[in-house]
Amino acid sequence: MKRIIKTDKAPRAAAVYNQAVEAGSTLYISGQIALDPATGKLVEGGIKEQTDRVISNMLAILEAAGYQIDDMVKITCMIADMSLYPGMNEVYGKYFYENAPARAALAAAGLPLGALVEMDAVAVRSKQ
């Protein structure tokens, strides 16, 4: 059984996908870029501002699904240019410092809307 997750506190899906899908006790969060959910536009600033917005969007989806940040087990970070990695990693580390999820970071050309970073995630409910 799967449950579709939608929240107004994160950008709505702009194509044929959902913000997240829960299957059993596992939540799959679709790729998030740094869209402001209120305006639907990419946030101003560089990699740090975009990384902060991306993670905020993922956390809003987590909350809407009834999960917590500690339930995140895997995050994939796609970065427009690996020279931006240090800035992304700095902001990422403010959210994930102890019990950090597994992570992959890779260069990805042509992210939607010229975004500098996109992330998707998997969370597993630890508390029922």
Residue range 40-87, pLDDT digits in tens: 999 999 999 999 999 999 999 999 999 999 999 999 999 999 999 999
Measured distance CA(12)–CA(33) in Å, rounded = 11
Strands 102-107 and 72-79: parallel
Looking at residue 21, the DSSP 8-state letter turns out to be E
In this model, does residue 33 exceed pLDDT 90? Answer: yes
Measured distance CA(122)–CA(90) in Å, rounded = 21
**78 in Cβ contact with 106 (< 8 Å):** yes
| Average pLDDT score over the chain | 95
pLDDT band at 128 (very low <50, low <70, confident <90, very high): low
* CATH architecture classification, 2-124: 2-Layer Sandwich (3.30)
Query: Which pTM value belongs to this model?
Result: 0.94
Domain ranges of the chain: 2-124
Measured distance CA(60)–CA(58) in Å, rounded = 5
